Structures are given as structure tokens and as C-alpha cells.
């Protein structure tokens, strides 16, 4: 009977130790996106995912696993390409303890969505025939967006001094280009 109590005490001590180990040493990492979460991510942009573990795995599928060593984090720099399969999806990470066979719990999913870049369009005012000496206004429109900067090009040359949404110009005879419909 005395040996049974001793066995029970050893078993309980082992279970308590294991439970304590899991509670303190095996952590649930957090994967974060290093950008303003309210900001839209467009194709072609570079994003950084960070997982708070010593050596971590950041992945959105078994085929896309990246390991990076940092002092306290793993970083996955992902460039989202327009023509490739978009890297939008659910990302998660798992930390692995250096020198030990233990790994952390897998983090919660971080959803990332990627949008195509919008296309700008140019409108001219006034409409119709234009004559030398008239003032015309060109306006750049990007539908559904208001917080964009504008760059204007003339004859494929960037005009650094033209950065507003609308520009006005006086038409000179040399600037008139006539195009026939195809």
C-alpha cells in the first residue's frame, strides 16, 4: 500500500510538472502583418509577416514554408506579384525551441487580402473641338479612391512640377495633335 501511494505521488508530480511546462514554455505565438491593418494591400507591394518566437515557421500552405533566424522573431518578407498566384490567404506561425524537441502551439490565422491596383483615367474639359489659345483642364480620376498622389506625363516624360489631380494648360498651336479613328 505504501508503494501505491508513492507511485501515485510520483505520477501526480509528473503530471503537474508537465502541465506547468506546457503552460509556461509552450506558448501560442502571434503572427502579425507589419502595416496599417486598415490600409488596403495592392498587388506588387511588399508585406512583412512577423511571428513572435525564436525560430518560427510562417506559412500559408505546406508548400510555402520559410524559416528565418532573428533574436526573438521570424520574419517572412513576401512580395505579392500581380501575375503569380496571389499570396492572399490565411497565414499562421509556429515556434520551435532551439536545442529542444518542443514547438509552440500554432498561432491563430491572420487573413490577408490583396487587391488589384486601380486604373487611372484622364478626362478633358471642355469637350469637343479645341482651338489654339483655349484653356483646357485635364483631370486624373481613380474611381473609389481619394488618398492618392498624382504624377503627370507629357510625351512620356514625367512632369515633376505637376502633382495635383487637375491641371490646366493653354493650348498652343504646336501642341494640337489630331488623331483619326481607326
The domains of the chain are located at 22-112, 121-174
| DSSP H/E element including 13 | helix 2-24
Q: Quick one: pLDDT at residue 74?
A: 47
pLDDT of 124: 86
Pairwise CA distance, residues 23 & 17, whole Å: 10
Predicted pLDDT of residue 91:
76
pLDDT in the model for residue 33: 66
Q: Got the DSSP string for 15-58?
A: HHHHHHHHHHTS----EEESS-TTSPPBTT-EEEEEE-SSEEEE
Q: Provide the pairing of β-strand 157-159 with 110-112.
A: unpaired
Consecutive 10-residue averages of pLDDT for the chain (182 residues) = 43 39 52 66 72 48 33 44 51 72 76 82 85 85 83 85 80 51 46
Residue 113: all three cell numbers together: 487580402
Q: What is the pLDDT of residue 86?
A: 53
Domain 22-112 top-level CATH class: mainly beta
Amino acid at each position: 500500500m505504501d508503494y501505491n501511494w508513492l507511485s501515485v505521488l510520483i505520477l501526480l508530480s509528473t503530471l503537474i510538472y508537465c502541465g506547468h511546462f506546457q503552460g509556461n514554455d509552450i506558448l501560442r505565438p502571434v503572427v502579425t502583418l507589419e502595416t496599417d491593418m486598415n490600409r488596403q494591400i495592392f498587388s506588387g507591394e511588399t508585406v512583412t509577416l512577423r511571428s513572435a518566437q525564436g525560430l518560427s515557421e510562417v506559412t500559408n500552405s505546406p508548400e510555402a514554408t520559410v524559416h528565418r533566424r532573428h533574436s526573438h522573431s521570424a520574419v517572412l518578407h513576401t512580395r505579392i506579384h500581380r501575375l503569380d498566384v496571389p499570396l492572399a490567404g490565411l497565414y499562421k506561425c509556429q515556434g520551435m525551441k532551439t536545442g529542444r524537441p518542443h514547438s509552440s502551439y500554432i498561432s491563430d490565422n491572420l487573413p490577408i487580402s490583396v487587391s488589384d491596383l486601380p486604373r487611372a483615367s484622364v478626362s478633358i474639359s471642355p469637350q469637343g473641338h479645341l482651338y489654339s489659345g483655349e484653356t483646357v483642364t485635364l483631370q486624373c480620376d481613380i474611381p473609389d479612391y481619394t488618398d492618392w498622389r498624382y504624377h503627370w506625363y507629357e510625351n512620356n516624360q514625367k512632369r515633376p512640377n505637376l502633382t495635383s489631380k487637375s491641371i490646366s494648360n493653354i493650348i498652343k498651336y504646336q501642341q494640337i495633335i489630331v488623331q483619326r479613328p481607326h
